[in-house]
Chains A and B, each alone.
Chain A
Amino acid sequence: MNQPTTQPKDPGVLGLMAVILLCPATVFMVVADAPQTMALVLLGLLVSAVWRQPLARTTRSYVYTTMAALVAMVGQHQLLPAHAERFFLMPGEIYCPLLLYLAVAMTFFEARESIVAAVVALAILATVIAGNVVSFHSRDPMFLQFVDNMVDFHRLYGIAALIETVAIPLLLGRAARQHSQDSRPRRGRLAGSLVLTACLAIAALVAFAMYSSAIGLQRGFQDILASFLQRYGRQRTRDTLFGRQVDLWRTAAPLSRRDQTVVLRVRSKRVPGYLRGYAYQSYEFGQWDSDDGNAQLLQPLPNEAGPITFRVFERFAPPPPDQSERLDILPASGFRSQVLLLPGDASRIEIISTEVRLSPDGVMFAGSWEPATGYVAVAPRLPLTFSYPGPAGNRLDPAPYLEVPGYLRPALREIAAEAFAGLPDDAPPEAAIAAVVNYLKHTCHYELGVQMEMHGGDPVVQFLTNWRRGHCELFAASAALLLRLRGVPTRYVTGFVCVEQPPGVQHYVARLADAHAWAEAYNDRTGTWELVEATPAAGIPHDTSETTLFGSLLDSLVLVWQRMLALMKRGYIAQALFSFFLGIWGCLRYLFANPWRATAIVGSLALLVYWFRHRRRQRHLARIREMGAARWLLRRPRELLLKRFQKAGVTAAPADTLRHLLARLASSQAPLATALAPVIGEYEQLRYGPEQPSPEDVRQFERRLRSALRGPTPKPDQDL
């Protein structure tokens, strides 16, 4: 990085760099009312042009120029700040000038490939940031009246982008040829220029073609991105479920193995049933939107003191304790939901959270909470006949729940006439609901993978008129819109249907495949929201479990573990321990209470133990056969010798032979080693000699060894 440069800067390269940098500077000047930025960029370029000799490429010069750019940016930001109101998402009034000043600083160096590449990249990034504008509202009268609205701004930005894009290849070509080794006059310049111009024209055509189909490209890009994230994202389940919008244009993929992933486990005596997630009011162009802006903050009830860490929140008065049931809801790891999934009739929840908000549609949002700890919902022991109680105290304002987009009304009126044929105008809401459900179940059938046509009109109309087949979202949306047209306030709801109980366990599970959509219609006679299940039976998650016995055992172990952790975090440590032992006891009881099962288990264990013992004995016999029966008896003398070595302070490693130990002993206790040497020699002769010793030989050797080891304790310079 310390190559001296002697050649002055090429004015052509510098000029093209100036063009490339002035484009984003112009856009930024207009967007942020910042002529000061343009002035500084121009000043910097002017100084760079006057300063003909490039700066030396040293670490120091790079640091100084970067510092100069930073100082210029900070100075501008402090003394003459740019307007920041128009920028969207990121503070462009800081980043854009910084990038521009850095690029200007780069022009002071020799135009090598890396420097030119840096200038180009900084200019492109500055242009991107300068175009980070979505509207022209909320600003003072502009300093420079270049543009009045977004259309003008798009035009200005397009011109700047075009100039910049044309100048970049010209700059790169000129900079590359600057270091040419060919001193001959350049040949074929005209042909080269013509080809270059033609290529630029084709590039402009390509860009224009893409610009013409920008909407389709955007949609395709978003689809690809979404599918990519869904397929390769680490938290796969996070983006697959409900959000604040529901897009009916999307194609519901056929069920796969991944859809069997468990997302919720509910421990309760009653069937959890429909667990409500989001509720949606407004519908437009195939999209439902949830309005949770009016969600009210719930005050926690006075709680028990001590180690209990959860708080209790009530959304309406709970039933008496003898008629209520506690549902312990534990989300699976990896599953995140912004809303609390609850039965519509759940009145109270216990959760470790700083705050809980309740929307007018009965959707509950938790503040910062730990999903691993789950939450407990208190609900009536027997599910009520309605889905969700109506507004407490005052009457419902039906207007938001009766909105049907104007463009949909003509098409839906015909269908509604067919669906409600024969139904008197003053028929109760129950009758209208029954009519809609009946109509949809008879005219449409459930099918996954139906793809809506992008130019075929609203998806609900396509579903009701063209396809007549689709997934639950289309059924629910159709029912909601038809009931609204009929004058019944209706909302669209998403959530899970949790009815599956794996065999042999006491809890319920909800899987990805159990995600569902339904509608809720307001019954003004009873003042409650009724559940409208318009999806045919084939599309409603059912209670048949395909889990194997082993799978359900594993699942219950997961639940035990998760619940134990949850209870510990909630403060029920003793309860957690108790439930742990209770779980073990339950397991044992399950295994041994049944005489047949107990017999089978005990028999299996006995067989296993027998098999292990038998194998060990076989190995033992094999070793004896390999070694010889008499040599097998030498194990005992060897152990005696090892004990003696250990007593003398020489510990045997697994790979040490007696000879190794003797050598080590000789260095510390030579007399003892001398005394032991003949015994060890005799042992080696018996153990490794060519002839198999007789058992009597071994026994005699052992006797001799014992008597030798029993001998008087050797003095330091004596023997044994």
Chain B
Amino acid sequence: MAKRTRNLLRRLKQWFYTGPTFLGIEPYPYRRKKGYQSPTVLGVLWLYAWSVRHLTTAGLLFVLCTGLALLYAMFSLLMPIHILAFALIGVVAVDVVAGWVLSPRLRTRRDLPERMACGAEHRILYRLENPSILTARDVQVDPLPYPRGLALPQGRAVLPALSPGEHGTASAVIQARRRGRYRLPAMRADSGFPFQLWRWGRNGEGNRTLTVYPAFTPLTGIDMPSGMRYQAGGIALSSKVGQSMEFLGCREFRTGDDLRRLHWRSWARVGVPVVREFREEYLCRTALIVDTARPAPFLWDEILRPLDEPLEAVVSLAAAVADYLADRDFVVDLFAAGPDVYRFRGGRSLGFLENILDILACVKPHYREPFAEFSEEIVQEVAQISSAVFLLLKWDERRRELIEQMTQAGVSVRVYLVIAARGKEPDGLPGSIRVLLARDVLAGKVASL
């Protein structure tokens, strides 16, 4: 018995510390170092989660006002406020109990794409089925709050009634307002009947993640001298079906050569084993280096997280460049350092633009020096590349050194500095650096680089 109780307690504790997953909030932001999680913070999170799960907006205000009225009324019965307080409590209590008794458990499904472009709208399709013997009334579909970067501009879907055994569909329009990778709340269909204060329902099925790509305007051209350089390991990494290394000639067999490369005819002709020799392909490989250095947000910016125009412009520009290069058989190496360092090679057959966009969707600002995160090996590797496109957010000595290092290594470099609309160009900026206004980039006014 004691063991069973202990197991139950352990499971309860585990469930508590997992956090309210149905809300789509990862508990990790609330996790401190060494695995410690504050039970108070988690408790507040659970309280919030249960309040948004079960209380309508009106219900939440109603309950708060009821509590206030009760608190005030209980100081003295001479005031008639207790009559109102008791009536309000009666309504809430009956709504909770009657709602639980009368609410059928619906089967639901939400159809939603996995990826969207920022600014785009999409219609979410909900399928509902009422397998119970009770009529579902005032069904609110998908009522849990969505992450801040997503919005349902036309509101949530509501079905007045769903008879027993009936199937129904509903829809809502979702709008992606910020790029990012979002974890959506669980799909639910709740009934607010009878008083629309308290909701009962159950979780349904459906996709729980949504990646919002950065919005970008396709470029018509990039002024970049493309050159080919020998790439160690080269073509094998980027070969498609039908591609091969270039034949260089034949030579005598040496120990260790691949037997599959024996050239039988030459062997027959000269009498000694001869093998074919190949040369590695010269590739057109471009590095796309994205700067993420941003000043640390100040107090309310930390909370409100307003749109960071320069960073969004840089990410949008990076997406546009990647799109342009990927169409032209370049191999693109993406480097983006933020709190996490992203390094990805795409293009030709190595990957798809979607993969690069997936990464760009997740790029976050870095409040320290992002280029400090690049290791020496990465810098060396960039130096082996034919050309590099730098998308910078500021200009300083470290960036100047890095670009000079690349130039000295023979890499043709193009540098673009994105500044805020109200910002001014830094002093001593080399003439080769093109300055772009973040607002112009976001407005799609930058059609070529």
Contacts and interface: CB of A to CB of B under 8 A. Distances in A.
Interface in B73-102: 74, 76-84, 86-91, 93-95, 98, 102
B344 to A, nearest CB: 35
B159 interface: yes
A39 interface: no
B91 to A, nearest CB: 5
Interface stretch (A40-48, A168-176, A247-255): A168-176
Contacts of B74: 217-218, 221-222, 225
14 contacts: A117-B62, A153-B80, A157-B80, A158-B83, A161-B83, A161-B87, A169-B197, A177-B138, A180-B159, A192-B135, A203-B90, A203-B91, A205-B90, A218-B74
A150 B78 contact: yes
Contacts of B86: 206-208, 210-211, 214
Interface string A199-213: 110111111101100
Contacts of B90: 165, 202-207, 210
A157 B87 CA distance: 12
B154 to A, nearest CB: 8
A603 to B, nearest CB: 42
A444 B83 CA distance: 44
B194 A168 contact: no
A128 B69 contact: yes
Interface residues of A, number: 63
A196 B102 CA distance: 11
Contacts of B83: 131, 154, 157-158, 161, 207, 211
Interface string B182-203: 0000000000111111000000
Contacts of A117: 56-58, 60-62
B68 interface: yes
Instruction: Give the bracket for the number of chain B residues in contact with chain A.
Output: 35 or more
A172 B98 contact: no
A88 interface: yes
Interface stretch (B8-16, B163-171, B251-259, B307-315): B163-171
Contact of B65 (A124, A134, A200, A202): A124
A118 B64 CA distance: 12
**5 tightest CB-CB pairs across the interface, nearest first?**
A172-B196, A206-B90, A117-B58, A207-B90, A169-B195
B161 A176 contact: no
Interface string A86-118: 001000000000000000000000001110111
Contact of A120 (B62, B140, B157): B62
Contacts of A180: 158-160
B202 to A, nearest CB: 19
A131 B160 contact: no
B93 to A, nearest CB: 6
B195 A199 contact: yes
A165 B192 contact: no
Interface stretch (A183-191, A508-516, A647-655): A183-191
B138 A165 contact: no
A208 B94 CA distance: 13
Contact of A112 (B65, B79, B140, B155): B155
B50 interface: no
A3 interface: yes
A133 interface: yes
A127 interface: yes
A225 B89 CA distance: 18
A182 interface: yes
Given A161-B87, A206-B89, A207-B89, A172 B153 contact: no
Given A199-B194, A203-B94, A206-B90, 14 more contacts: A124-B88, A131-B80, A131-B84, A132-B79, A177-B158, A181-B157, A181-B159, A188-B161, A188-B163, A200-B94, A202-B98, A203-B90, A207-B83, A214-B86
